[in-house]
Structure 1
């Protein structure tokens, strides 16, 4: 049996995206801070992504800060009619390049307005509230219901089309759905890290899109990288990489392509948003949409975590 992953996913009425999109976090400089190493190349990557059929770009105004959104507008505005731009709020950067929770209602309103201005839009397609419940960031002091309720109010006012959650637990997801519809959840999840499995299962049951961040283990699947510099829990073992390479080799594919194909085949509600500032890596990533793994391959890769 071969698993033919659907190429598109319907998030909500009138909102359908390609299951393999693009994440803009790597467009700014190192650490998602400051201008890109090469401004022209950053613009070229965005334009090439759309040329190759990407209809889902994931960004945030705290990437840079402001840099990713400014590049997206410069490269792509006026936007294609089918392009969905998702952004995240609930975090601000400081002068030490830290990532700080900022989920007070007034701050969220300011962040939404900043995203609107920077992206040149009257309404944001999809806005995630970055919660931090998956351990990547420390949650702030604002009650969750108050924060999500503030975004729900902005949705009612027409500034946001759809709402999502990032770094969320299953209990927070349930709580949010009592306040307003949730169309997508973005948690850490990749071929070597299944810490988001319970949230993924909840999304499958509810018909909510699941958007793994760090789909390529924070770049640890790229050959030649120093795995000793990997964030905690990110570095794959030589045995894991060998197993992935063995399956990828059967298709004449790279380990990156096999890992992305696994994400799409592992669950029908998954959207992949690999990010890169390299035109060559962009082409490699998007070619994964043509790789159809067998059910046996997916089952074997399921065991690698």
Structure 2
């Protein structure tokens, strides 16, 4: 049976005055119905660009190639009118910063009602009733009153709940959540994650969860993809990744996490920074920061190699016949 969402060799690039810069290169991802897939990595690794490429929400100057198959239909081949029928209906997205995603000129109720009127054919009165019901479901107090309020009148946690209510209004099959808990305090963060679990449990929604927080990944995800400098460097089920990370970059991310069982006073960090688009190194993109780099790492880019049952790793350490 084919995956619900299948991304094949997705490449996103932009042409500058001097050259063509690849932001995301050759990404391939599958998302099964009812699954939560985490996409993790440092800021600037291409996580959000991948999600915006799937939704086709990037500037027209940005070139996107490859295939994004949703129930067999290639989203990259659809017209903008056809994409508008899918966005917010069968595929929905929770954006990183709700204050910039919500329209400050319209009430909360009107913004939630819009996709219900457009995609579900509800009348304004029915859509308003449904909007109130959705706000109640996401745990917002006084939902009828909140429907008449504007985004600036709500707290960050409340705005994020509104975003989830909007995203779930039409019962989408796929929910893309881009850093849904960033800038929220830990109590609100836990509530938002529990709300997403409830959505998945009750509606069977598949979730593509983009985050830099490995704690969120451990709590929410079935499988994990680790990205670095626009590429997938590791892919595994969540238990395997935390039990036995393979790629040196993933190992570095794990060591940078606080551990309540450890008496270590200082967390380890990965030296250096993610390379700029116009300064990508030859060979393995992580090699300049890697303590295990070999000569071949600087000369030749590795492919995603099998590194155990369902585990793949973009590292020469796991190349067939060359495992060190």
Return the TM-score normalized by structure 2. Answer: 0.35
Give the TM-score normalised by structure 1: 0.37
The structure richer in strand per residue is 2
Return the index of the structure with the highest Cα Rg: 2
